[in-house]
Amino acid sequence: MKSNDLTPPIALRCGCFGSPAFAGLDLSGCDPGVRAQDDLYRAVNGRWLDETEIPADRPRHGSFSQLNDRTNAQLRDLVDELVAVPQAPGSVADQVSAFYAAHRDTEAIDRAGLAPIRSLLAEIDGLQTPLQLAQWQGRMQGQLDTPVRLWVAPDFEQPGVNRAITWQGGLGLPDRAYFLDSHDPRLAAARAAYAEYLLCLATLSGEPDPAAAAEQVMQIEQRIAAVHWDRVDNRDPARLFNPMTPAELMRDAPGFDWVAFLASAGLVRIDRLSVSQPSAVRGIGQLFAEVPLADWRCYFRLHCLDAAAECLPAAFREAHFAFHGTALTGVKTERPRWQQAISELNRALGDGLGQLYVARHFSLAHKLKAQALVNTLLAAYRESIENLSWMTPATRARALEKLAKYTCKIGYPEHWRDTRQLLVLADDALGNRQRAARFEWQRLAATAGQPLDRQEWAMPPQTVNAHYNPSLNEIVFPAAILQPPFFDIAADDALNYGAIGAVIGHEISHGFDDEGSRFDGDGVLRNWWIDADRAAFDALGARLVAQYEAYEPLPGRRLNGRLTLGENMADLSGLQIAFKAYRRASAGAAAQGNDVCSDAQRFFFGWAQVWRDKVRPERAFQLLAIDPHAPAEFRANGAALNHDGFHAAFATRPGDRMFKPPDERIRIW
């Protein structure tokens, strides 16, 4: 607080340490010594940040992890009830119960030793020709991160058809920069930890020369990293879309039998696929031709052991945690085994577990309230587009057409995936994981070249997340995120619009960020912009890049404004639209605030509370390299800084750290 400022800190003016309290707002987390005009994030979360310790088994802790904890506890209660009594053989409840019990039974896993993975290791040892190597990698799709991975998704030019796509992979460290940056000591430490982990895996599995095996793998991954595209390049859908036939792929990327690879993956009858990073595919094809087959066998042995380590004896589990947990993210202790089992269940039987979850924890009232919020946000977005000052009528008409074609999924799917043919055994943790991954890949591969099923969900309802899909032009809000602090059916509109309203606005805005805006309302990748409008839009994006690249979350490590541009655009536009929607929804209603906290102020407090988060330095460093989202404090403050409503609500003025002159504020949508 400035010495000549006679007003109390805004935290006090907003009732954060006095009455009345408002449902949905955690008053205890505010910092009375910080004014929102100087730092909205710390004004709302400062006391919580100062007093909260990150749990020893977490790389970070905050609103998202607390909601994940609540959801996992709900899931545990459900599954424990199933495990306690016999279930009908072959039923969803029986599969969930058996899978969970097997993963939790570490004593049985320890007794089994390496027996569950020996057949897979023997398969690798039996690979004697390049053709066999290609075929084996095809069979491993969905189970192993191979140097070139396969997926199936809507075609960028014909979004009504599913298309097989390739994607670069094969690295045991989080990003290519971990191998290629020789200057940052933190990256060097991560490489050393990875080399040590590989040595441990090689030793535990009985490699004749563990040190040589670890070095062979490091050398292969160094070469893979050298041909990978960086994460900024991977944000350009036009560059990623490269349709070709399997024969053309064989011609353009010699050195590897791509046809055999695709056929063994179950993609036998496809007429074309999209090669996402063509230069990386060519480079990896060349690696397969140049690197001795014996070295590839070693590489895949250690990668399979890494992928399976959590379902192998204690020494493997401990080594896996020491690297993936402590070395990369700073976590001190492992999560309880039951939490690991819930995570495994969500991946393997997400729909089966989701059916049980929504039946108990997601009401029709929640769905209807969320749908009403979505409708209000879409109406506000339409109004905003209609009044854009920088867009010409022709482009505006196309933007409105796209918005009118949005679809929305809330809560859970109308139809659940059928997993009755999946074999799940109560004494085979690794086998369950492998069979579930293979089952899901076979389901996905069978859709290649087939009409798109618009009823499909990409994530189960117990996921604390939301997303926008540009090819389907849809926004999706699973049941689990529709809980406090994001959505509280008992809270007033100001808090809900500032929290889940801004999340909804964020996902809507992804259709109009620098990536999503390249797709039209039917999901087709095409330029629907007038050139002058696109130039004006790109100029606004460049200003946002500059704003976020000025932030320095860690000493000497600034934000990558281009990597985070899409998410920053969505945060900014989502918050702006949510505020307009709140004003629209509350027009004519009696104010719910009082003389210490206005409705508008509470809206922004709800927004800042959503981003409450503490991150270990190791994890923060990792996220700066791989995460397209900015750190929480910059998401909260960076969007509010450009928001006219924020400045009006808190009466900011020159000298306040959050003040930004009106003519410098970035307004996109």
259-278: string of b/e by CB count within 10 Å (b at 16+)?
bbbbbbbbbeebebbbbbbb
What's residue 20's pLDDT? Answer: 37
CA–CA separation, 565 vs 90, rounded Å? 47
The architecture in CATH of the region 365-405+484-664 reads 3-Layer(aba) Sandwich (3.40)
Say which residue the tokens 């990623």 belong to. 240
What's residue 592's pLDDT? Answer: 58
* Residue 390 burial (10 A CB sphere; 0-12, 13-18, 19+): middle
Q: How far is CA 221 from CA 128, 194, 207, 457, 644, in A?
A: 21, 11, 19, 34, 49
Which residue, among 664, 659, 614, has the nearest Cα to 42 in the 3D structure? 614
What number of CA atoms fall less than 13 Å from residue 350's CA on the CB side? 20
pLDDT tens digit sequence for 148-194 = 999 999 999 999 999 999 999 999 999 999 999 999 999 999 999 99
484-502: string of b/e by CB count within 10 Å (b at 16+)?
bbbbbeebbbbbbbbbbbb
Say which residue the tokens 């919020």 belong to. 373
Characterize the bridge pairing of strands 162-168 and 273-275.
Answer: parallel
| CATH classification for the domain delimited by 127-311, as one of 1.10.3720.10, 3.30.70.1380, 1.10.1380.10, 3.40.50.300 | 1.10.1380.10
CA–CA separation, 491 vs 493, rounded Å? 7
pLDDT tens digit sequence for 426-450 = 999 999 999 999 999 999 999 999 9
CA–CA separation, 499 vs 478, rounded Å? 15
CA–CA separation, 200 vs 206, rounded Å? 10
Q: 177-185 contacts: CB < 8 A, separation 24 or more? A: 177/230, 177/625, 178/225, 178/625, 179/221, 179/222, 179/225, 179/226, 180/225, 180/226
Q: Where are the domains of the chain?
A: 127-311, 365-405+484-664
- Neighbour tally for 565: CB within 10 Å: 22
Say if residue 139's pLDDT is above 50.
yes
CA–CA separation, 573 vs 624, rounded Å? 22
pLDDT tens digit sequence for 80-96 = 999 999 999 989 999 99
Q: For the chain, how big is the Rg over CA atoms in Å?
A: 26
Residue 27 pLDDT grade (very low, low, confident, very high; cuts 50, 70, 90): confident
Residue 590 pLDDT grade (very low, low, confident, very high; cuts 50, 70, 90): low
117-131, 541-555, 560-574, 580-594: the lowest-pLDDT one? 580-594
Say if residue 126's pLDDT is above 50.
yes
What's residue 596's pLDDT? Answer: 54
Tokens of 162: 């599913």
- Kindly report the backbone phi and psi dihedral angles of residue 408, in degrees, each rounded to the nearest multiple of 5, phi listed first: -135, 135
CA–CA separation, 274 vs 611, rounded Å? 37
Characterize the bridge pairing of strands 273-275 and 243-244.
Answer: antiparallel
Residue 355 pLDDT grade (very low, low, confident, very high; cuts 50, 70, 90): very high
Which residue, among 346, 428, 434, has the nearest Cα to 79 in the 3D structure? 346
What's the mean pLDDT in 577-594?
A: 79
| 148 touches 168 (CB < 8 A) | yes
Which residue, among 314, 40, 287, 95, has the nearest Cα to 200 in the 3D structure? 314
pTM of the model: 0.94
3-state secondary structure string across 163-174: EEEEEECCCCCC
Characterize the bridge pairing of strands 60-62 and 613-615.
Answer: antiparallel
CA pseudo-torsion sign 494, 498, 504, 505: positive
What's residue 94's pLDDT? Answer: 96
What's the mean pLDDT in 490-509?
A: 95
- Name every residue whose Cβ is closer than 8 Å to that of residue 418 and which is 6 or more positions away in sequence: none
- Neighbour tally for 123: CB within 10 Å: 15
Say if residue 17's pLDDT is above 60.
no
| 124 touches 304 (CB < 8 A) | yes
DSSP secondary structure of 603-620:
HHHHHHHHT-EEE-HHHH
Residue 593 pLDDT grade (very low, low, confident, very high; cuts 50, 70, 90): low
CA–CA separation, 59 vs 69, rounded Å? 14
